[in-house]
Structure 1
């Protein structure tokens, strides 16, 4: 199992960060420019990654103000789970960690680790910009 993650502190209450992330409609704002054909509901999203693949995700678990888990609903090149972990630092600060857990063989790890790390970094930094 390959774990790719990044953590950031956001100056907002954990409930506010959780509410934003709990709705997959909001996740389009977190995506990099190479994502297009985005369609979503509160619980599901599908999109295309330029020059790569079409992906569909669904929210599989929500633990209020603590964790959100998304899993693919269509076949993917490798098994993966996308997980947001939230922790309250203080009344007005949240620690947010975005984790991608992927079953990558050696070849896939060499090809996918860089782009997946860029995605994780982009999403946490964009979340901090959006949330202020």
Structure 2
């Protein structure tokens, strides 16, 4: 299952956006209002939970400065990645799009598609004001 957030424009350079996303504690400022838990576990791993959902641990898996950062599930029953793609726009600002990629059975995919789509859209739309 692959989902994409809308592309958002950020009035910062790709390097500034990358630096923000690389520091995982900054993800707290991107989270939706219905977050019930956020905890930094170490330099490249954090845990979060949304009301009514299980806790999820994300770990930094790959970094390609200043254009891409990949977070992946760290343990748990689900294997997925959250990919941040950062592209420089003509005016020196950035365009950011988040991608969610996971391998789920059809029933699970049907259940989580809506909540995950809303989640990555919220992360993306919170980005311009958070950075």
Q: TM-score, normalising length from structure 2? A: 0.91
Whole-angstrom distance in 2 between the partners of 1:130 and 1:29: 6
Give how far 1:91 is off: 5.0
Q: Deviations over 1:37-83 (max 9, x none)?
A: 2111431101223222111111011111110011111213x321111
RMSD, aligned CA:
1.4
Partner of 2:4: 5
- Contact 1:49–1:55, Cα closer than 8 Å, also in 2: no
Secondary structure class of the residue paired with 1:68: strand
Partner of 1:108: 108
Partner of 1:68: 69
Whole-angstrom distance in 1 between the partners of 2:91 and 2:54: 40
Runs of 4+ in 1 over 3 A off after TM superposition: none
Whole-angstrom distance in 1 between the partners of 2:65 and 2:47: 24
Q: TM-score, normalising length from structure 1? A: 0.90
Partner of 1:54: 55
Secondary structure class of the residue paired with 2:76: coil
- In the comparison of the two structures, how many residue pairs are matched? 129
Which deviates further from its counterpart, 13-22 or 44-53?
A: 44-53
Task: For structure 2, list consecutive stretches of 5 or more residues without a partner in the other structure.
Answer: none
Partner of 1:32: 32
Task: For structure 1, list consecutive stretches of 5 or more residues without a partner in the other structure.
Answer: none
Secondary structure class of the residue paired with 1:90: coil
Partner of 2:130: 130
- Contact 1:85–1:98, Cα closer than 8 Å, also in 2: yes
Q: Deviations over 1:69-120 (max 9, x none)?
A: 11111213x3211110111113531111100001122211221111011011
Secondary structure class of the residue paired with 1:83: strand
